[in-house]
Amino acid sequence: MSLKYKYPMNPASALFSSFAINLRRLVVLRCIALSGQLIVVWVVVANLHMALPLRPLIGIIAAMALFNFLTWLRMRRPWSVVEAELFAHLVLDVAALTALLYFSGGATNPFVILYLLPLALTAAALPAGYAWAMVAVSIACYTLLLFYYIPLPQSHAEHDDFGLHVYGMWLGFLLSAGLIAWFAVRMGETRRSRDRLLAQMREDELRNERIVALGTLAAGAAHELGTPLSTMAVLSKEMEHDAGISPSMRENVSVLRQQIDRCKSILSSLSASAGASRAEGGRSVRLENYLADIVNHWQEMRRGVSVRRHFEGTQPSPEIIAEQTMSQAIVNILNNAADSSPENIDIGARWNEQELVLEISDRGAGLTPDAVRAAGQPFFTTKAPGQGLGLGLFLAHATLRRLGGSVQMYNREGGGLCTQLVMPLSSLRVKRSS
C-alpha cells in the first residue's frame, strides 16, 4: 500500500491559459480545414469538371493559410490569449467560410453544415455570451447566403447532380462531426486539467494558511519556553555540582543539561532562520556531508536508537545550501521512524547531479488504509494521546512540496514503513556567480 504526493515547482505557473491552449488547437484545426477545402476544390474542378471561380476561392484559402501562419508565430510570443481574441479567430473562420460558400453555391452548397463547427467550438471553449453571439453571426451569414451567392455550375461529368449534393452533405457532416468531437474532447481535457490545478492552488492556499498559523503559534511557544528552559538549565547545573548525588545520577543530570542546551540552541536558531527558505549567505556543503551531519545530530538527540545508513551517488557529491527547513523535515521523519521501532532503522540515500532520493525505513506497525488516506494532514497522528501533535509529517510534506519534491510512503514486506523523499537538487544547489 502506498501514498504518493507529487507537486509541481510552482502550481501558479503550471496554470497555463486554457484560451492559449485552445487557440493552438484552433490553428491545427484550421490547417486541417484548409487542406480539406483545397482537396474539395481540386476534386470538383479536376474530376467533376465544374467551372468554379478558382481565383477568389484560392485567394481566400491562401489568405487564411497566411493568417494561420501568422497566428502560429504569434503563439510563440509570451503574450497572453484572452477570450475576445479566441472569439475573433472563430468569427474570422465563419467569415472565410461564408466567402467560400458565396462563390460556390451559397446555402445550396452541401458543406454549409460546416457552420456548426465554429459554433460548437465557441460553445465549448468560451462563456455563454460569446456562444450566443456566434449563434447570431452564423444565422446572419447563413441567411445572407440564401439570397446572395454565385450558383454552382452544372457538372460536365456523367454524375447525378442531386446524388453529388447528397454525397457532399454526407461528407460535410462527417468532417463536422469528426472535428467537433476531436476539439470537444481536447477542450474537456483542458478544462479538467485547469479545474484540477485550481483545486490544487486552493488546497495550497489553505495549507499555507495553516502553516502561517502554526508559525505564529511556534513563535509564541518559543518565546514562552525561553524562561522555563533557562530555569531548568540553572537547576540542572546546580544539581550536577551537588556533592551529595551519586555518579550515575550526575551522569544523568549531565545528559539532561546537554538536552536543555540543545533545546535552547534550537529556539535561538528559530529567529535566525524563520521566514527564509534558504539563506543567501548560508554555508554551502557537500550533499553527502549534509546528510551525515543531519543523521549525526539527530542521533545525539535520540541516543540508543539503532541506525544503519547507506549513502551512494556521484562523487564528489553535489554542493548544496544547508537548507534549515529541509533538515527539519528529514529530522521529523527520522523521529517518526524512531518512535515506531527504535531498534531497527535503515537510512538509505542515493543521488546524481539532478536529484536526491532518501529512504527512511523502520520495522514498526506500518500504516492502515485509513492512516494512508489521512497521512500528511495537520494534527493527524497514529501515536497514543499525549505522545504527538501530528505536525511533523505535515510540515515535512509542506517543506518537500515547497521545494519541488515528492513524498512516498509504503508498507514494507515483513512489516514496517518506508518513507521515500525525492528532492530535485536545483532547489538546493549553490548558485555560482559569473
Range of the domain at 339: 284-427
Closest CA relative to residue 331, chosen from 304, 297, 357: 297
Q: Check residue 136 and give its pLDDT.
A: 92
Say whether both 263 and 304 belong to one domain: no
Q: Check residue 115 and give its pLDDT.
A: 85
Say whether both 229 and 192 belong to one domain: no
Strand partners, 285: 320
Q: Check residue 19 and give its pLDDT.
A: 77
Of 326 and 56, more confident: 56
Q: Report the alpha-carbon distance of residue 429 to residue 322 in Å, rounded.
A: 9
Q: Check residue 66 and give its pLDDT.
A: 95
Give a yes or no: residue 36 inside a domain: yes
Q: Check residue 397 and give its pLDDT.
A: 74
CA dihedral 226, 229, 235, 236 (to 10 degrees): -140
**Is the pLDDT reported for residue 426 higher than 90?**
no
The highest-confidence range among 17-26, 259-268, 293-302, 345-354, by mean pLDDT, is 345-354
**Is the pLDDT reported for residue 346 higher than 60?**
yes
**Is the pLDDT reported for residue 389 higher than 60?**
no
Give the pLDDT band (50/70/90) at residue 156. very low
| Residues near 351 by beta carbon (within 8 Å), at least 6 away in sequence | 287, 313, 314, 317, 318, 357, 425
Q: Report percent pLDDT > 90 for the chain.
A: 9
Give a yes or no: residue 27 inside a domain: yes
Looking at the 3D structure of the chain, how many domains does it have?
A: 3
Give a yes or no: residue 434 inside a domain: no
Pairing of strands 355-362, 417-424: antiparallel
Say whether both 224 and 327 belong to one domain: no
Per-residue CA distances from 95 to 21, 61, 111 (Å): 23, 12, 14
Span 73-87, average pLDDT: 85
Of 38 and 414, more confident: 38
pLDDT tens for residues 117-133?
A: 888 888 877 888 888 99
Say whether both 338 and 373 belong to one domain: yes
pLDDT tens for residues 291-327?
A: 888 888 888 877 778 788 889 888 888 888 777 777 8
Give a yes or no: residue 348 inside a domain: yes
**Is the pLDDT reported for residue 151 higher than 50?**
yes
CATH of the domain at 413: 3.30.565.10
Last residue of a domain, one of 204, 231, 257: 204
Say whether both 330 and 414 belong to one domain: yes
Say whether both 306 and 236 belong to one domain: no
Span 369-381, average pLDDT: 58
Q: Global pTM?
A: 0.47
Reading the block at residue 145, the C-alpha cell is 447566403
Q: Check residue 36 and give its pLDDT.
A: 83
Give a yes or no: residue 289 inside a domain: yes
Where does 241-310 have alpha helices with state H? 247-273, 287-301
Mean pLDDT of the chain: 75
Last residue of a domain, one of 219, 242, 273: 273
Give a yes or no: residue 432 inside a domain: no
Q: Report the alpha-carbon distance of residue 367 to residue 408 in Å, rounded.
A: 12
Q: What is the DSSP letter of 108?
A: G
- Count Cβ atoms below 10 Å from residue 186 Cβ, excluding itself: 18
Last residue of a domain, one of 273, 292, 320: 273
Give a yes or no: residue 5 inside a domain: no
**Is the pLDDT reported for residue 432 higher than 70?**
no
Q: Report the alpha-carbon distance of residue 360 to residue 346 in Å, rounded.
A: 6
Say whether both 177 and 111 belong to one domain: yes
Q: Check residue 427 and give its pLDDT.
A: 74
Give the lowest-confidence range in 51-60, 260-269, 406-415. Answer: 260-269
Give a yes or no: residue 2 inside a domain: no
Q: Report the alpha-carbon distance of residue 269 to residue 342 in Å, rounded.
A: 27
Say whether both 215 and 134 belong to one domain: no
Closest CA relative to residue 390, chosen from 377, 399, 402, 400: 377
**Is the pLDDT reported for residue 433 higher than 50?**
no
Give the pLDDT band (50/70/90) at residue 6. very low
Say whether both 396 and 247 belong to one domain: no
**Is the pLDDT reported for residue 175 higher than 90?**
no
Say whether both 90 and 129 belong to one domain: yes
8 A C-beta contact, residue 363 and residue 415? yes
Q: Check residue 302 and give its pLDDT.
A: 77
| Secondary structure element (H or E) that encloses residue 310, with its range | strand 307-313
Q: Report the alpha-carbon distance of residue 124 to residue 188 in Å, rounded.
A: 8
Q: What is the DSSP letter of 341?
A: -
Of 96 and 53, more confident: 96
Strands across the sheet containing 417-424: 2-6, 406-411, 417-424, 355-362, 345-351, 307-313
Q: How far apart are the first and last CA of the chain?
A: 47
The highest-confidence range among 55-59, 318-322, 333-337, 361-365, by mean pLDDT, is 55-59
Say whether both 86 and 223 belong to one domain: no
Say whether both 141 and 261 belong to one domain: no
Q: Report the alpha-carbon distance of residue 266 to residue 242 in Å, rounded.
A: 28
Give the pLDDT band (50/70/90) at residue 385. very low
8 A C-beta contact, residue 397 and residue 408? no
212: left (phi over 0), alpha (psi -120 to 50) or beta: alpha
Judge residue 360's burial from the number of C-beta atoms within 10 Å of its C-beta, 0-12 exposed, 13-18 middle, 19 or more buried.
buried
